[in-house]
Structure 1
């Protein structure tokens, strides 16, 4: 049974000593999600959020988020052009814990609602994350993934997907060629959020004001934070976002666009694997249909392969052209899986 806003307000006073709550309202899909949450107003004029996980998976994500947010010190936050939630206190409840954080203002995004202007702000925001010193992650023991780790994980996903017998041979060959192309994986690992999607961002107008969901903070492949932009129906969204990203970060990683395309395509394979793990015929059939659509789009696309000719560097235009034949990713909170309605 879902906890009411008043019950959550009482928990908040236990989590934050001296807190005086003046009002409480439901936040999100009350009682229908994995987390009970409420928006609190305090007598000193602040807006806070309290969340209590309802499932083991939500509890694990909350714990990882807490570790990541603690790693983002005041000095680190000052380098970001947007707000990040700040944890204020916690209290035990029914075998788990309630967490109280500052409310971050802004309008949540959907992939369909992103304009090229918003995408540019998103590109700058992601670039700021990637520009943080890697010690932010290393000092608290969060994952640090090298290019070889990224390739290895991709190969494991490909092999598992191939074992289902449901992935077209042409797609497997395309992915294998990408995994074997050493030039594609010559990048410097950076601090990444690790689970970005449209719903990660809060905006006011066309400016990103906040970024939520930091449970996968790590050092890794910058493409992991960018590939979901390729799912926008308007190609100008991906172009604007990646262009702004490169303006802020420079073009030292010229293959990031192609790796983003590769990552987006592998999301379909992960959706297939999720369906087989859950023994869901509906998900498996959906994934097979997606794979077929992807094959139709990329088959015979000799102009924009995932693996460029040795004498030819990938350009931003190449990456955007590829994005038009690449399925999108899903928002975070859905296991990073593509949703049917986004194709």
Structure 2
């Protein structure tokens, strides 16, 4: 068994070079891992890239296991990868929201009250962003946490997408936030053409991109780490300066 790392929600270990075992870091994460074991066997065959299909290995303590998804975290980007991710997101967002709901997937409400009390007093210019986020749609099956650490590639092509713990019914623009706003133009433009991104969708994706560091502030408060909080506030201010429309 080899330790792979940990995120905000779970720790991961590689077993026999083939299997990934994941354990929740907090009790409230357990139901998310169990939900993945129910939803992913239905969803995976509909997607054009490899994804984890976990099964519950033990219930106490909770451990889920899935086959290792090949590839490494993206560090370089090209148009081919952008087209691949556009195709992946089109397929994901076309999956039946109603069937997902029957399998236990629901909306993921944003912690708006905590944002107002823990972030907004220090960044009052973020009030308009919170108002926009509060009114966005929530009727599409989305990954919910798509970034370079969860999109894998090798030899210039994508090989898989991992970590579906935040899978929920939400605004499809949330899955475009990083891809349209934090990647090189050749990648982002290819994705946008393949997916069919509209101007209105771009603006919503920017709003979600701007909101990302707000969660880091809350996480830092939860774990009592002032450095994480400070880094989150830096990100909040930097991203708000982008404006309401992409450059």
The match for 1:102 is: 67
Alignment of 1:124-135 (within 5 A): 124-135=87-98
**1:28/1:276 CA distance change after superposition, 3 Å:** closer
**1:230/1:50 CA distance change after superposition, 3 Å:** closer
The match for 2:19 is: 49
Larger Cα-atom Rg: 1
Q: Give distance in 2, aligned partners of 1:199 and 1:29.
A: 12
The match for 1:257 is: 202
Alignment partner of 1:281 is 2:245: no
Alignment of 1:171-186 (within 5 A): 171-172=126-127, 174-175=128-129, 178=132, 185=136
Alignment partner of 1:91 is 2:55: no
Note if contact 1:192-1:217 (Cα within 8 Å) is conserved in structure 2: yes
**1:241/1:27 CA distance change after superposition, 3 Å:** farther
- Give secondary structure in 1 for the equivalent of 2:149: helix
Note if contact 1:125-1:208 (Cα within 8 Å) is conserved in structure 2: no
Note if contact 2:77-2:184 (Cα within 8 Å) is conserved in structure 1: no
Deviations, residues 129-154 of structure 1 (Å, cap 9, x unaligned)? 10111133111222146xxx6xxx37
Q: Give distance in 2, aligned partners of 1:98 and 1:51.
A: 6
Deviations, residues 309-329 of structure 1 (Å, cap 9, x unaligned)? xxxxxxxxxxxxx1x5xxxxx
Structure 2 runs not aligned, ≥5 long: none
Alignment of 1:198-213 (within 5 A): 198-213=148-163
1:63: Cα distance to partner?
4.4
Q: Give distance in 1, aligned partners of 2:167 and 2:30.
A: 13
Runs of 4+ in 1 over 4 A off after TM superposition: none
Structure 1 runs not aligned, ≥5 long: 6-25, 42-47, 299-304, 307-321, 325-343
CA RMSD of aligned residues (A): 3.3
Q: Give distance in 2, aligned partners of 1:288 and 1:72.
A: 35
The match for 1:240 is: 190
1:289: Cα distance to partner?
3.2
Q: Give distance in 1, aligned partners of 2:41 and 2:209.
A: 32
The match for 2:122 is: 166
Give TM-score scaled by structure 2 length.
0.79
